[in-house]
Amino acid sequence: MFCNSKNDPNEKTPNINICPVCMAHPGVLPTINKEAVKQVLRVGLAMNGTLADYSEFDRKNYFYPDIPKAFQLSQYEFPLVSGGSLNGVELTRIHLEEDTARSSHTNESDHSLVDFNRAGVPLMELVTEPVLHNAKDSGAFARELQLLLRTLKASDANMEKGEMRVEANISVSKNKGELGTKVEVKNLNSFKAVERAIDFEIKRQIEMIEKGESIVQETRGWDENKAITFSQRVKEEAADYRYFPEPDLPKLKLSELPELSVDNLQETLPELPQAKRERLQEVYGIQPEDIEAYVTDTKLCDFFEGVVMELTKAEGEDIAKHIKLASNYLTNNLVALRGELAEHVTKNIEHREFSELVLLASQGDISSNGAVELISYLAKPHEAEQSVRDLAEEEGLLQQNDDGALGEIIESVVDANEGAVQEYKEGKEQALQYLVGQGMKLSKGSANPAKLKELIKAKLG
């Protein structure tokens, strides 16, 4: 945030990405990372927050081994963003600070270890108003925030890598509209942990209040294995930190930085998740589950929209049906193909090919299984000049719909299965299934079963 040490969450060797600035050696001078300021302002703008015109960094003084300076550079009175909301959850503020080092405590030894690679990494802190009332909504908010950060490319926001962490403040009160004493559960690093910790804490506080005990304002940790929160330290009051403006950094007068103006930042915003949901629903009328798949996977969404473009070029009026079918193959069938193949679909299959495949399936020229087989085939690197119909024929996946060719098959089936024919005529529906099965066998699987069934029925009256 204030030096040019590498920010690499994957670095396994401790204390490599450090320098005199983040190690706070005497005489060093910090410099503000403009890109980090820009990303926080973009996030604020995406949430309709008010961007600060004036901002500054403050020293938050405390002594702890994870911060060698004995103060953290943060923002106190003048955060970069105030207000705003995300899917109805109101925000208080968003500010920027430096992350601290990572300490590891082991039970085996009498000392702790500290890795400064993370020290000095830009850390955006976003605070919501106390408007979330249960674990489920809180988890949903955290997921939506992660999606937004990824959509904005402000962060990869991988919780397991510590790129996003949640600190849940929980308070319970007997009186509606009144907030009880809050307890902060620190460093929750999975959505599941967020939800479980909040549920646990709500229950714990209710039990205490009902027993007539009072809640202590404190910081608690989360024990994943025992699924409980535990007391870490009694919370310091804000005054304990003795905040004061960092004298070694210039004040930020954002109106003097044209590249960080609202207009210029606005231009850098991609389509945001909620707007995308609404558009996909309105334009394509597809299932909510399909929409979520596209909102979380931009590549898949771009591929889908490319295929739709091709489908609209094709003749035929059933465009809505074709779009739904295409989406179904992309979302449902790709789940079955998950793993590396799913990635290869968007990389190796041309929009034209996928749309041809959808049309073949829609006309009954290939079966559903045939379509999945073709997708698997096309997902591998291939020459793209061939038509998908030709490919389906080569692979023996084209279903016979031709009345003439199917007529010959039906003749043979009827001649060879007098017993079943008789049973069907006496009203046994199962016999028809048997005859269709025989026909499929005779066609070596190439007949369209629906068409075959229809023709046998017609033949037998």
The Cα–Cα gap between 459 and 266 comes to 67
Minimum gap (Å) between residue 132 Cβ and Zn ion = 36
Instruction: Determine the interface stretch with Zn ion among 13-21, 34-42, 185-193, 364-372 (rule: CB under 5 A).
Output: 13-21
How far does Cα 228 stand from its chain's mean position?
27
Minimum gap (Å) between residue 8 Cβ and Zn ion = 12
Site string for Zn ion, 116-155 (x = CB under 5 A): ----x-----------------------------------
**CA angle in degrees (0–180, nearest 5) for 8-11-16:** 90
Site string for Zn ion, 370-409 (x = CB under 5 A): ----------------------------------------
Q: What residues between 174 and 193 interact with Zn ion by CB under 5 A?
A: none
Minimum gap (Å) between residue 115 Cβ and Zn ion = 14
The Cα–Cα gap between 345 and 380 comes to 8
Q: For Zn ion, which is the closer residue by CB, 21 or 311? A: 21
Q: For Zn ion, which is the closer residue by CB, 11 or 90? A: 11
Minimum gap (Å) between residue 41 Cβ and Zn ion = 23
Instruction: Determine the interface stretch with Zn ion among 3-11, 92-100, 134-142, 364-372 (rule: CB under 5 A).
Output: 3-11
The Cα–Cα gap between 198 and 206 comes to 12
Minimum gap (Å) between residue 3 Cβ and Zn ion = 3
Measured CA to CA in angstroms, residue 301 lies from 36, 320, 401 at distances of 28, 17, 33
Helices 351-362 and 319-328: angle between axes, nearest 10 degrees? 110
Of 338, 357, 373, the C-alpha closest to 445 is: 373
Among positive and negative, which fits the CA dihedral 388, 393, 399, 403? positive
Q: For Zn ion, which is the closer residue by CB, 44 or 68? A: 68
Q: For Zn ion, which is the closer residue by CB, 1 or 337? A: 1
Residues in binding contact with Zn ion, number by CB under 5 A: 6
The Cα–Cα gap between 296 and 310 comes to 23
Minimum gap (Å) between residue 40 Cβ and Zn ion = 19
Instruction: Determine the interface stretch with Zn ion among 1-9, 181-189, 242-250, 322-330 (rule: CB under 5 A).
Output: 1-9
170 binds Zn ion (CB under 5 A): no
19 binds Zn ion (CB under 5 A): yes
Minimum gap (Å) between residue 329 Cβ and Zn ion = 49
H runs (alpha helix) in 272-316 = 273-284, 288-296, 298-313
Looking at residue 329, what DSSP letter applies? I
Whether residue 91 contacts residue 141, with contact meaning beta carbons closer than 8 Å, is answered with no
Q: For Zn ion, which is the closer residue by CB, 19 or 228? A: 19
Select from 1, 3, 293, 330 the one that contacts Zn ion (CB under 5 A). Answer: 3
What are the tokens at 446? 């190439």
367 binds Zn ion (CB under 5 A): no
**CA angle in degrees (0–180, nearest 5) for 128-133-138:** 60
Minimum gap (Å) between residue 121 Cβ and Zn ion = 9
Minimum gap (Å) between residue 120 Cβ and Zn ion = 5
Select from 6, 8, 15, 22 the one that contacts Zn ion (CB under 5 A). Answer: 22
Minimum gap (Å) between residue 6 Cβ and Zn ion = 9
Minimum gap (Å) between residue 72 Cβ and Zn ion = 14
Whether residue 229 contacts residue 222, with contact meaning beta carbons closer than 8 Å, is answered with yes
The Cα–Cα gap between 76 and 97 comes to 10
Instruction: Determine the interface stretch with Zn ion among 18-26, 105-113, 402-410, 413-421 (rule: CB under 5 A).
Output: 18-26
21 binds Zn ion (CB under 5 A): yes
Query: Which helix H or strand E contains 152, and what residues bound it?
Result: none
Minimum gap (Å) between residue 161 Cβ and Zn ion = 19
- How many other CB atoms sit within 10 Å of the CB of residue 183? 22
How far does Cα 380 stand from its chain's mean position?
26
Query: Which helix H or strand E contains 93, and what residues bound it?
Result: strand 89-98
Name the region of 149 (left: φ>0; alpha: ψ -120 to 50; beta: rest): alpha
Instruction: Determine the interface stretch with Zn ion among 17-25, 136-144, 219-227, 235-243 (rule: CB under 5 A).
Output: 17-25
Q: What residues between 264 and 303 interact with Zn ion by CB under 5 A?
A: none
Q: For Zn ion, which is the closer residue by CB, 17 or 219? A: 17
Q: For Zn ion, which is the closer residue by CB, 98 or 310? A: 98
37 binds Zn ion (CB under 5 A): no
Is residue 388 exposed (0-12), middle (13-18) or buried (19+ Cβ within 10 Å)?
buried
Of 263, 246, 247, the C-alpha closest to 255 is: 263
How far does Cα 138 stand from its chain's mean position?
16
Select from 1, 5, 420, 431 the one that contacts Zn ion (CB under 5 A). Answer: 5
What are the tokens at 13? 């060797």
Residues lying near Zn ion in the complex (CB under 5 A) are found at 3, 5, 19, 21-22, 120
